[in-house]
Amino acid sequence: MASCSSPTVSTAPESDISDVEFSILLFAALKDAARSADIVVRAKQSPITARELLELCAQQHFVLARWLPHVRVAVNQEYVALEKTIEAGDEIAFLPPVAGGAGFIPTRSSTLMARSTPCP
């Protein structure tokens, strides 16, 4: 005869229960720096502004901190101002400048390409 067990109840501290997770898609150099196509940023409440989300991201994912002053934030596939409020369920993406804006940052592949290109 099979026995029924009661569901496990989480006993996480109250401060952890109130945390909200924001899933963020990363592109281009941000994706490379994070070594992931997406990250999670935790906040104490939802909604928060795009600016607050960037600040929390810098604190929680320090490898991305140097890029964040230059990124564009997209919410539900539209670019938004830093004052825009974002809900935890929104589709959020961080996009670095594609050309210009942050200056050229050499990567291993660009260095290899430069070495293999003949001089005129």
pLDDT digits (tens, 9 = 90+) for 67-84: 899 999 999 999 999 999
User: For residue 116, is pLDDT > 50?
Assistant: no
pTM of the model: 0.66
pLDDT on residue 120:
52
User: For residue 54, is pLDDT > 80?
Assistant: yes
DSSP designation for 100:
S
For residue 24, the tally of other CB atoms under 10 A from its CB is 24
Could you tell me the residue ranges of all domains in the chain? Answer: 17-48+60-99
Q: Closest Cα to residue 67, out of 110, 19, 24?
A: 24
pLDDT in tens, 20-41: 999 999 999 899 999 999 999 9
Q: How far apart are CA 22 and CA 26, in angstroms?
A: 13
User: For residue 112, is pLDDT > 50?
Assistant: no
Fold (CATH) for 17-48+60-99: Ubiquitin-like (UB roll) (3.10.20)
